[in-house]
Structure 1
Amino acid sequence: MQPSFEIRGRTLALTGPCFIIGEAGSNHNGSFEQALALIDVAAKAGCDAVKFQVFKAKRLYPKAAGSSDYLGDERSIFDIIAAMELPEDWLPRLRARADHHNLAFIASPFHEEAVALLDPFVDAFKIASYELTHAPLLREVAKRDKPVIMSTGASNLDEVREAVATLEAAGCDRLALMQCTAAYPTPPEAVNVRALVTLRDTFGIPSGLSDHSEHPEIAPMAAAALGAAVLEKHYTLSKFLPGPDHAFAVEPDGLSRLVAGVRAVERVVGSGDKTVHGVEDELRAFARRVLMTTKAVAKGERFSRDNVDVLRRGKLVGGLEPKRLEALLAGVATRDLPAETPLQETDFTSG
């Protein structure tokens, strides 16, 4: 697996900057105009990519699967999913809208045939958490020679390891893994952002966070601080729209705040190299301490703490570093020195 790769000209590496995906998912509610509006929102917020989901109810659940308790919807899960399907003929037009905004276009296929359907349009494939053990789907995605992002919700590390091996064996060499918690919304104490570090260290590939917590910024900013290479967040035009994914998604203002917050964190986290920054140059010169006379010292006079101190030099010329104090105190002046003179090597000799 490659330690870094690109999606539409944006690099995903072992540590940031974050490739931010606006997860439109199925929040189009069957409206093409709403789907277009979602793409516009992702672009305005500053996302790098927009993502949709392509599934068929009959390829996800049997009709007898019953209802989902967590959704609080009396309809069967089969009927709910059927109402959320994305029409195939939308794909070229959604891709065109994403192109207009220079957004990467990503989608999650949920059955093997959807992979071939999506292949002409997507810049990368996303594997949803519940598909992590769907080996036939993983193999079909891996054969397409495109970057893959895989969520790991409701999975343990051994299951992730097996899925990664399946993808790699089938030809995938560009993979990013996402820490994810399969709870909608995810309580803060269950987000476990630090797991993205475990994924990165274990597999040596880019990792990030697929966040389902309600707050727009906290978990994404924490992920950015830990070096997340990729970040995904569900968003919606309004939390009050009907459908299972709107209530825990962020609204347009929240998505904009998320992107701004992550970019702010990236700026303050920096590269990790410990160097002197250009913005420090003035005060490094002004406030660093040097050895300086506090009284006039005559030629031949011995230096002592009575006539020398370790002072910040301000705009005076540079002087001996404080580590030279012991040597200075063992010496005498080689010339007459006024008070407040930054001392140089030539100003003293051993007594």
Structure 2
Amino acid sequence: METLKIGDRPVGPDEPTFIIAEAGSNHNGDLATAKELIDVAVDAGADAVKFQTFRAEDMYVEDSGEVEYLDDDRSIYEIIESMEMPHEWVPELYDYCTERGIYFLSTPFDVQSSEVLSDYVPAWKVASYTSSHHPFLRKLADTNKPIIMSTGAHELSEVRESVDVLESAGVSELALLQCVAAYPTPLEEINVRVVELLADEFDVPAGLSDHTLDPVTAPTTAVALGASIIEKHFTLDKTMNGPDHQFALEPDELDEMITAIRDTESALGTDEKSVLDVESELHDKARRTIHAVDDIAAGETLTTENIKVLRSGEQEAGLHPKFYDEVVGKTAVRDIQRSSGIQWEDIDAQ
């Protein structure tokens, strides 16, 4: 499986999980709030902070009606229109992210937005609802940037069609994210195992775009299953006005999530089985070897009564337990003190 590169950061198997702190539209139209969100993402240790760049007229039909989950009397068109991020923010947010040492990302939802963002983002994040917009995918492919694509509200066959479109358009750096289009997503519906499915089916780095309320369970489970990317919404305060705040993480929860992901990576370690340095003391003192349990004089026979397989402690270790049956019945060729480890040179090997 090939890795992709976001800026200078390789993303894929055997690399640290790339963590995207999704600010989305939780700036509430205020540039200072957007910068404060960047600060929170930096302080928590995220690799990238992501916003959303769109225009309502390019997302929904004007007579779009309401969406029940938002519990808002306005039409979805009016809600989206109120969440638009000014295009003139983009270079300023990019500069601020660069100054703070975090990657700036923003999801484009239309061609105009992608053109505004193109000089400022190191990769494209494709939203779930845009992932089957094949003409738009081809437009993004023309930029030769890596693409991270969410897959919520799509069947596997539809994901395959979109991947085929991207690959036919020359995209060689692609990652896919399991996502469930429910805000919030019940934990029992997040279906993290799809991360493995996407990686196996498409041979690309896979990850999770998580909308559950729990800051730890789904992200760390995904990392344990091989996720290369984790994306999660966050906010300054869940009680702020706006459709995306209530299911987003607050700053302390974002910090908790990222700490848990890094701890999970540490706990996973490698697939190499060997004696580790931290085990060295107990390797020497607690593993069992063959020891004398009585003083044994030269010429005396070693028996099940005068030798046992015991932990060595600070005594010199004896022979491996696998030689016990071979040692029983042998004759000591020199005096062996009680507790000493039995060595080959202590016995008649004939």
TM-score past 0.5 threshold? yes
Hey, what does 2:246 align to over in structure 1? 247
Contact 1:112 1:136 in 2 (8 A): no
Tell me how far 1:150 sits from its aligned partner. Answer: 0.6
Distance 1:186 1:281 in 2: 46
User: CA separation of 1:130/1:228 partners in 2, compared to 1, >3 Å: closer, same or farther?
Assistant: same
Distance 2:190 2:273 in 1: 31
Tell me how far 1:134 sits from its aligned partner. Answer: 0.3
Q: Secondary structure at the match of 1:273?
A: coil
Q: Secondary structure at the match of 2:341?
A: coil
Distance 2:74 2:265 in 1: 44
Distance 1:315 1:6 in 2: 51
318-327 vs 105-114, greater mean Cα deviation: 105-114
Contact 1:14 1:200 in 2 (8 A): no
Q: Secondary structure at the match of 2:188?
A: helix
Hey, what does 2:28 align to over in structure 1? 29
Distance 2:329 2:206 in 1: 58
Hey, what does 1:58 align to over in structure 2? 57
User: CA separation of 1:275/1:350 partners in 2, compared to 1, >3 Å: closer, same or farther?
Assistant: closer
Q: What's the TM-score, normalizing by structure 1?
A: 0.97
Q: Secondary structure at the match of 1:126?
A: strand
The one-letter amino acid of 2:204's match is: I
Hey, what does 1:222 align to over in structure 2? 221
Contact 2:315 2:339 in 1 (8 A): no
Hey, what does 1:317 align to over in structure 2? 316
Contact 1:53 1:86 in 2 (8 A): yes
Hey, what does 2:283 align to over in structure 1? 284
Distance 1:33 1:337 in 2: 80
Tell me how far 1:16 sits from its aligned partner. Answer: 4.7
Q: Secondary structure at the match of 2:63?
A: helix
The one-letter amino acid of 1:305's match is: T
The one-letter amino acid of 2:145's match is: K
Hey, what does 2:212 align to over in structure 1? 213
Could you give the per-residue CA deviations for residues 42-89 of structure 1, whole angstroms, max 9, x where no partner exists?
A: 111110000011111011111111111111111111111111111111
Hey, what does 1:47 align to over in structure 2? 46
Tell me how far 1:5 sits from its aligned partner. Answer: 2.2
Distance 1:97 1:233 in 2: 21
Q: What's the TM-score, normalizing by structure 2?
A: 0.97
Contact 1:178 1:207 in 2 (8 A): yes
Distance 1:107 1:276 in 2: 46
Q: Secondary structure at the match of 1:34?
A: helix
Could you give the per-residue CA deviations for residues 314-349 of structure 1, whole angstroms, max 9, x where no partner exists?
A: 111122000000110131111121211101111112
5-14 vs 65-74, greater mean Cα deviation: 5-14
Identity %: 45
Two-structure CA RMSD over aligned residues (Å) = 1.2
Hey, what does 1:266 align to over in structure 2? 265
Hey, what does 1:123 align to over in structure 2? 122
Contact 1:54 1:108 in 2 (8 A): yes
Hey, what does 1:175 align to over in structure 2? 174
Contact 1:237 1:252 in 2 (8 A): yes
The one-letter amino acid of 2:113's match is: A
Q: Unpaired segments of 5 or more residues in structure 2?
A: none
Tell me how far 1:350 sits from its aligned partner. Answer: 4.3
**Alignment of structure 1 residues 289-300 onto 2, 5 Å:** 289-300=288-299
Hey, what does 1:86 align to over in structure 2? 85
Hey, what does 2:256 align to over in structure 1? 257
Could you give the per-residue CA deviations for residues 78-122 of structure 1, whole angstroms, max 9, x where no partner exists?
A: 111111111111000000111011111111111122222211000
Q: Secondary structure at the match of 1:331?
A: coil
Tell me how far 1:15 sits from its aligned partner. Answer: 4.7
Contact 1:17 1:227 in 2 (8 A): no
Could you give the per-residue CA deviations for residues 22-41 of structure 1, whole angstroms, max 9, x where no partner exists?
A: 00111111111111111111
Distance 2:349 2:39 in 1: 75
Contact 1:14 1:204 in 2 (8 A): no
Distance 1:131 1:164 in 2: 13
Contact 1:295 1:339 in 2 (8 A): yes
Could you give the per-residue CA deviations for residues 290-336 of structure 1, whole angstroms, max 9, x where no partner exists?
A: 11111111222211110000011111112200000011013111112
Runs ≥4 residues deviating over 4 A: none
The one-letter amino acid of 1:141's match is: L
| Number of equivalenced pairs | 350
Distance 1:216 1:165 in 2: 33
Hey, what does 1:158 align to over in structure 2? 157
Contact 2:151 2:176 in 1 (8 A): yes
Distance 2:348 2:5 in 1: 62
User: CA separation of 1:16/1:209 partners in 2, compared to 1, >3 Å: closer, same or farther?
Assistant: farther
Distance 2:313 2:148 in 1: 54
Distance 1:273 1:145 in 2: 37
Distance 1:86 1:293 in 2: 79
Q: Unpaired segments of 5 or more residues in structure 1?
A: none
Q: Secondary structure at the match of 2:325?
A: helix
Distance 2:3 2:95 in 1: 27
**Alignment of structure 1 residues 103-118 onto 2, 5 Å:** 103-118=102-117
